[in-house]
Amino acid sequence: MHLAGTLFQTPGHTFTRACRDLSVETPIGRWNMIEAQPAPDLADVVDCYWEGWGNIPPMREKILPRTQVELMFNLRGEHRILSMDGRDCDMDHNGGWLSGLQRRWLLIETTGGSHFVAARLKPWGTWRLLRTPMNEVACRVPETSDLWGGKGELLHERLAEAPNCFTRFDLLEQDLRARLDLRARQDDTLVEASRRIRNSLGRQRIDSLCRDLGTTRGTLGRRFREQVGLTPKTYARVVRIDALMGHLAANGPDQWAALAEDFGYHDQAHLAHDFREFCGTTPEDYLRRAAPGGSATMEDW
């Protein structure tokens, strides 16, 4: 295995893909992770492929809102969703599933270790794969068997039988390429709107964005609901909280009032309100519980 954080290359099915070892030591054991780039023809759809595994003890964690969609396949362990979009639930997820953009945290429980292979997708790219409006999968975690029937189950079986993560990346990429709806062309206005929102860390005003792009708020809202799953305003709020969590994970605690100003919140109370809404916790508790990378928090069993 490669040293954590190092780049390396591996022959893919159609090209040599760049990979990165992102393995880390955590308080509950080593989490191994390999991230790999997609083929150039899928770069507008796929952000990256990744595989993670570890002999972790039974655990509960909150998966916090992010700006990508995760298409995941379980290779080991048992996983249950206990809370989704602010509501209690009890759902076993032990095959393949797709986690759409979320407005709130997911509370999940894992037993028997953990091993996943996944494609991290751009929302508008997911729309071209699913051929269904993204607001129908936002704030949900549908199973691939519900999305694709027996073909979703067959893909899971092939991934489980593959000898290593690099073969699984190839298999996953081949399947996604075959599913891509070439008639559903990329919406350049929506992609540009999303880019500006992300580059501004969610501070971009939607009214001025619409004026700059020559569209109306209603039209942009319809496009976002169909191809992203959230309204532009909610998407911008998710972008901002995601960027804030990334900053905290990389830099640790800061002066909260100054941090609120830097990230475009009215004041510290506004920042704390968004943390509570999106993450179900306070900023201080988030820092105590944050997993490596900052996209999840470790919860009491």
Is residue 12 domain-resident? no
Are 86 and 213 part of one and the same domain? no
Is residue 204 a contact partner of residue 236, using CB atoms and an 8 Å limit?
yes
Are 221 and 250 part of one and the same domain? yes
| Positive or negative torsion for Cα 142, 279, 248, 296 | negative
Q: Which run of H or E residues covers position 17? A: strand 16-21
* Residue where a domain stops, chosen among 146, 179, 212: 179
Is residue 13 domain-resident? no
What's the pTM?
0.91
Are 201 and 123 part of one and the same domain? no
pLDDT given at position 222:
97
Q: Is 226 strand, coil or helix?
A: helix
Is residue 88 domain-resident? yes
Are 249 and 286 part of one and the same domain? yes
Residue in 3, 15, 56 with CA at minimum distance from that of residue 166:
15
Is residue 203 domain-resident? yes
Is residue 10 domain-resident? no
Are 87 and 126 part of one and the same domain? yes
| Cα 121 to Cα 131: distance, rounded to the nearest angstrom | 14
| Residue % of the chain over a pLDDT of 70 | 95
Q: Measure the CA angle with vertex 193, ends 187 and 197; round to 5°.
A: 145
Are 234 and 135 part of one and the same domain? no
Residue 286: domain span: 188-295
Q: Which run of H or E residues covers position 67? A: none
Are 154 and 290 part of one and the same domain? no
Q: Which residue has the tokens 């292979």?
A: 117
Are 28 and 158 part of one and the same domain? yes
pLDDT tens column, 75-131: 999 999 999 998 999 999 899 999 999 999 999 999 999 999 999 999 999 999 998
Mean pLDDT of 46-72: 96
Rounded to the nearest 5°, which phi and psi values hold at 287?
Answer: -65, -35
User: Domain of 202: which CATH number?
Assistant: 1.10.10.60
Average model confidence (pLDDT) for the chain?
A: 92
Could you write out the three-class secondary structure of 106-125?
EEEEEEEEEEEEEEEECHHH
* Residue where a domain stops, chosen among 121, 151, 179: 179
- Chain centroid, CA 139 distance in Å: 12
Is residue 213 domain-resident? yes
Are 35 and 172 part of one and the same domain? yes
b/e map 112-135, b = 16+ CB within 10 Å: ebbbbbbbbbbbbbbbbbbeeebb
- Chain centroid, CA 178 distance in Å: 22
**pLDDT > 70? residue 5:** no
Is residue 301 domain-resident? no
